[in-house]
Amino acid sequence: MDGHDFIARYAGIYEHSPWVAERVAEIASDIDDTSRLAVLMADCVDNADTEQQLALIRAHPDLAGKAQVAGELTEESSDEQASAGLDRCSKVEYERFQALNDAYKEKFGFPFVMAVRNSNRAEILEAFSARLKNDYDTEFETALAEIHTIARLRLEALRSG
């Protein structure tokens, strides 16, 4: 596949960050192995400067946030959040998510990121509370690791879909 087709196909793997697909297109456009492609894309992110990494983290929506309620999520994020039941929060759960989203962003300056596919609301809320205890560097690295997991799951879904 040529570079333009590659970018068009994989631009959404990293949330609102087509630069990842753009940077790996030249070396990855002929790769058909999902695992290898995931590694190349993750390496691209890991070798980006801190400001680009932070922008990537900040490109992610809040979990069970206002964008979800307003229907403003990407199709991928909407599907991922729905798979964890975040589109079916009770009023109490929704308020808890909002409070945790606000506390997390106030402490770290970026949204809580978690690969929520195959999780449920209770597990996510528990992880949210636990990770709020982390320091900035730990959470920055955890967010990037979660983003790589999300990307790998998106690649696998694209492959099987």
Catalytic residues: 60
Length of the chain: 161
What are the φ and ψ backbone dihedral angles of 4, each rounded to 5 degrees? Answer: -65, -45
Mention every residue, 6+ apart, whose C-beta is less than 8 A from residue 135.
none
Tokens 């900035």 -> residue: 136
**The two three-digit tokens of residue 113, written as one number:** 């990121």
Q: Which residue has the tokens 């995931």?
A: 38
CA distances 105 to 34, 43, 49, 82, 128, Å, are 32, 26, 21, 22, 12
CA distance 2 to 52: 26
